[in-house]
C-alpha cells in the first residue's frame, strides 16, 4: 500500500519537494569530470525492489554517452577508481553504510588487436593462408557465450570486481563474496561475437549471500532527455509540441509514453553498478520499519574516488598504474539528479563535486535564488510566473522532512541526498507514473528514484514552474516538458532493472525511440576451411 498518497494534498499546498536542479542526468557536469569520464557519475537510483518489498535496489551509472560501436577496447571500469554507494540512516548526512566496488582488468589474449573476438564454433586457419600458423589451427575463437570458462575464450579483456560493505563510520569492512569471481559484463560487441547477449548479460547477476545480489557492466543508458535542446539555451523544439508553444505539452501528449522530441541518449550505453540489499541491512535498527517510523527513511548518494597520486609505468613495462600514495581523493558525488549540472555555478562545480553532503549549506545560496528558474522565465519571455526568492520552498528535499519522511523526523543538516522511505512498496507497472510523486505515485521520485522516472519534466514543473507552491500550479507551469516521455527501449521489471546494452551494429536512431535491428549473424556452421576450403569462397559470406 502506498502510504504517501494521503499526504499529497497537504504536500501540494505546503511546499516544493523536488530537489533544486533535478533537471536531468549528470553528464560532464563539472570541469573535473568533463576530463575524467570514467569517474563521472551520470545517475543514481534508489527504490524498493518491484518484486520484493523487503529489499531496496541501488544503482549508480558512470561514464555516459558510450557509443556501442566504439571499439576495440570499449568501456572498462577504471581499476584506479573506488566506486561507492553510500547510505545515511542517522539523519546526519554521513555514511553509516557504504558499498564499495573495485575492479581489476586482465588481458587474456595480449596478441589480439581487440578486447573481444569470436564467431560460431571457432574458425580455423584455411588451407590457402600464408605460412606461419599451421592449417587447421583455430584462429578465431568460438563466439563468446560465457563470462568465464570455455565459452569465454574470446574474452580477451576481462574484468573482475570486489564488493565491500563498510560500516561503523569506516571502522568495519566486510567483503561480500560469491562462490567464485565476480565478472563485469562487457558491452554488446555484436551478434557474431556475442550471439546471445541477453543470456550472457544475465550471467552477471551474482548472489552474495544474506539476500544481496549484484550486477556490474555496460548497459543501455536508462535516462531520457532532449539534452541538445536544453543546453542550446533552452531551445526546446517547436515541432515537438502540438500545443504550438515550445516546452508546453498538450494533455494528450502529457498522458502518452510516446516521444515527440529526440531522446539524445537513445542508442547509447553507460556503465552500471547495481546492488539489491535487504532493507534490514540499511536501516539503523537493522529491521524493516513502518512508514510512521522516522528511521524508515534513508539517504543515498554515490561517489567516485582516486588515489591522490598516481605514477604511470614506464613504456614497455606491465600495463597499468602504480599508486605512489593510495590516499583516496573524491572526484565526483551525486545524490539527487543534476544539482551540480544546472544549479551550482561553474566556479564552484569542482568544489561541490569533491565536498561532502554534510557541508552543503555552503551552496545554499544557489538554491535560494536559482539562476535556472530565472533563465527559463527569460527564455519564455516572462510567460512563466515563477516563485520569488528566497526560494525556501526548495529546501524540504535537502532535509529529512514530510512527505518523504513522517512529520516527526529530525530534519538533519542541509544535504544533497536521494531520500527514500523504505516502507513504501513499489507501484505496480500498470499504475506507475513517469511523473512520480507529483502525479500521486508515492513510490516515485523524489521518494527515491526509479529508472523510469521523468525527472526532467518533474524539474521543469517544480523547480522552474513551482507547481507545488500554492498559487503556482497553473498553466503553463503545470504543463512544462521536453517532449521526451520514455526511454528508447523497455526496462526490465526485475533486477538489475536496466535494459541490456545496445549492440555494436545498432545505429542510434537520432533519438526518436526504436533502433533498427542488428543484422543476424551469418551461419558459420557450414564453414569448414580444413576439409573443404572451397566452402570459404564463392558467394557465401566469409567469416
Edge-to-edge order in the sheet of strand 41-48:
41-48, 55-66, 269-278, 212-220, 206-209
Mean pLDDT throughout 248-277? 95
Q: Count helices and strands (H / E) in the chain.
A: 10, 15
- Taking the C-alpha atoms of residue 27 and residue 452, their distance in angstroms, rounded to an integer, is 18
Please say whether the beta carbons of 263 and 229 come within 8 A. Answer: no
- pLDDT of residue 518 exceeding 70: no
- Taking the C-alpha atoms of residue 252 and residue 143, their distance in angstroms, rounded to an integer, is 47
- pLDDT of residue 100 exceeding 50: yes
- Taking the C-alpha atoms of residue 489 and residue 478, their distance in angstroms, rounded to an integer, is 27
Cβ partners under 8 Å of residue 99, min gap 6:
58, 84, 85, 86, 163, 164, 165, 166, 176, 275, 277
- pLDDT of residue 182 exceeding 60: yes
Cis peptide upstream of residue 477 (ω within 30 degrees of 0): no
- Four-point Cα dihedral 243, 244, 248, 253, nearest 10: 40
Strand partners, 321: 312
Mean pLDDT throughout 32-59? 94
Q: Give the phi and the psi of residue 213 in degrees, each rounded to 5.
A: -125, 155
Cβ partners under 8 Å of residue 193, min gap 6:
116, 117, 118, 119, 143, 144, 154
pLDDT band, very low/low/confident/very high, at 404 (cuts 50, 70, 90) = confident
Ranges assigned E (strand) in 221-296: 269-278
Greater confidence (519 vs 128) lies with: 128
Please say whether the beta carbons of 355 and 332 come within 8 A. Answer: no
Residue 12 to residues 7, 8, 15, 198, 462, Cα–Cα distance (Å):
9, 6, 6, 42, 11
pTM: 0.88
Mean pLDDT throughout 101-123? 96
- pLDDT of residue 17 exceeding 60: no
Q: What percent of the chain has pLDDT over 70?
A: 85
Q: Give the phi and the psi of residue 468 in degrees, each rounded to 5.
A: -95, 5
Please say whether the beta carbons of 431 and 376 come within 8 A. Answer: no
Classify residue 181 as exposed, middle or buried by CB count within 10 Å of its CB (0-12, 13-18, 19+).
middle
Return the number of other C-beta atoms located less than 10 Å from residue 316's C-beta: 5
* Rg value, the chain, Cα: 25
Per-residue model confidence (pLDDT) at position 321:
58
Per-residue model confidence (pLDDT) at position 11:
27
Q: What percent of the chain has pLDDT over 90?
A: 62
Return the number of other C-beta atoms located less than 10 Å from residue 36's C-beta: 18
- For 138-152, 343-357, 445-459, which range has the lowest pLDDT when averaged over its residues? 343-357
C-alpha cell at 542: 566469409
Per-residue model confidence (pLDDT) at position 320:
54
- Taking the C-alpha atoms of residue 404 and residue 296, their distance in angstroms, rounded to an integer, is 10
- pLDDT of residue 15 exceeding 70: no
- pLDDT of residue 327 exceeding 70: yes
Share the mean pLDDT of the chain: 85
- pLDDT of residue 247 exceeding 60: yes
Mean pLDDT throughout 444-458? 95
pLDDT tens, residue by residue, 390-399: 877 777 678 8
Residue 220 to residues 44, 256, 260, 492, 502, Cα–Cα distance (Å):
15, 22, 21, 11, 6
Amino acid at each position: 500500500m502506498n502510504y504517501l498518497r494521503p499526504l499529497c494534498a497537504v504536500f501540494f499546498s505546503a511546499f516544493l519537494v523536488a530537489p533544486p536542479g533535478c533537471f536531468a542526468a549528470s553528464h560532464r557536469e563539472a570541469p573535473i569530470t568533463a576530463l575524467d569520464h570514467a569517474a563521472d557519475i551520470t545517475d543514481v537510483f534508489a527504490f524498493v525492489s518491484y518484486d520484493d518489498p523487503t529489499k531496496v535496489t541501488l544503482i549508480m551509472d558512470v561514464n555516459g554517452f558510450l557509443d556501442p560501436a566504439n571499439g576495440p577496447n570499449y568501456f572498462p571500469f577504471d581499476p584506479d577508481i573506488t566506486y561507492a554507494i553510500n547510505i545515511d540512516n542517522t539523519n546526519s548526512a554521513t555514511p553509516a553504510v557504504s558499498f564499495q566496488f573495485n575492479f581489476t582488468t586482465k588481458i587474456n589474449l595480449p596478441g589480439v588487436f581487440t578486447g573481444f573476438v569470436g564467431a560460431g564454433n571457432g574458425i580455423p586457419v584455411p588451407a590457402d593462408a600464408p605460412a606461419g600458423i599451421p592449417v587447421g589451427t583455430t584462429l578465431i575463437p568460438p563466439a563468446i557465450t560465457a563470462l568465464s570458462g570455455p565459452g569465454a575464450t574470446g574474452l580477451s579483456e576481462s574484468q573482475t570486481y570486489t564488493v565491500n560493505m563498510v560500516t561503523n563510520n569506516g571502522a568495519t569492512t566486510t567483503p561480500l563474496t560469491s562462490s567464485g569471481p565476480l565478472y563485469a559484463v562487457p558491452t554488446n560487441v555484436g551478434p557474431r561475437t556475442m550471439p546471445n547477449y541477453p543470456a550472457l548479460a544475465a550471467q552477471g547477476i551474482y548472489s552474495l549471500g544474506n539476500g544481496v545480489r549484484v550486477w556490474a557492466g555496460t548497459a543501455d543508458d536508462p535516462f531520457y532527455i532532449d539534452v541538445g535542446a536544453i543546453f542550446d539555451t533552452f531551445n526546446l523544439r517547436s515541432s515537438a509540441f502540438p500545443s504550438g508553444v515550445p516546452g508546453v505539452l498538450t494533455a494528450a501528449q502529457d498522458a502518452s509514453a510516446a516521444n515527440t522530441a529526440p531522446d539524445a541518449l537513445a542508442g547509447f550505453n553507460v556503465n552500471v553498478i547495481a546492488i539489491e540489499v535487504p532493507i534490514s541491512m540499511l536501516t539503523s535498527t537493522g529491521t524493516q520499519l513502518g512508514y510512521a517510523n522516522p528511521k524508515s527513511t534513508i539517504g543515498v548518494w554515490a561517489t567516485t574516488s582516486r588515489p591522490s597520486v598516481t605514477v604511470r609505468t614506464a613504456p614497455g613495462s606491465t600495463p597499468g598504474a602504480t599508486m605512489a600514495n593510495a590516499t583516496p581523493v573524491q572526484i565526483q558525488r551525486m545524490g539527487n539528479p543534476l544539482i551540480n549540472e544546472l544549479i551550482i555555478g561553474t566556479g564552484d562545480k569542482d568544489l561541490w563535486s569533491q565536498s561532502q553532503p554534510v557541508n552543503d549549506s555552503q551552496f545554499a545560496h544557489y538554491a535560494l535564488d536559482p539562476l535556472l528558474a530565472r533563465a527559463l522565465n527569460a527564455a519564455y519571455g516572462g510567460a512563466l510566473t515563477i516563485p520569488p526568492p528566497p526560494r525556501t520552498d526548495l529546501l524540504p528535499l535537502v532535509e529529512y522532512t514530510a512527505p518523504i519522511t513522517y512529520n516527526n523526523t529530525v530534519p538533519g543538516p542541509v544535504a544533497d541526498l536521494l531520500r527514500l522511505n523504505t516502507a513504501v512498496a513499489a507501484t505496480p507497472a500498470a499504475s506507475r507514473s513517469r511523473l512520480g510523486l507529483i502525479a500521486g505515485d508515492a513510490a516515485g521520485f523524489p521518494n527515491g528514484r526509479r529508472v523510469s522516472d521523468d525527472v526532467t519534466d518533474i524539474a521543469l514543473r517544480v523547480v522552474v514552474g513551482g507547481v507545488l507552491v500554492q498559487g503556482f500550479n497553473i498553466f503553463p507551469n503545470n504543463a512544462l516538458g521536453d517532449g521526451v516521455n520514455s526511454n528508447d527501449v523497455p526496462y526490465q521489471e526485475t533486477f538489475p532493472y536496466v535494459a541490456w546494452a545496445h549492440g555494436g551494429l545498432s545505429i542510434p536512431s537520432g533519438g526518436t525511440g526504436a533502433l533498427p535491428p542488428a543484422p543476424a549473424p551469418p551461419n558459420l556452421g557450414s564453414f569448414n576451411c580444413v576439409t573443404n576450403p572451397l566452402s570459404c569462397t564463392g558467394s557465401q559470406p566469409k567469416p
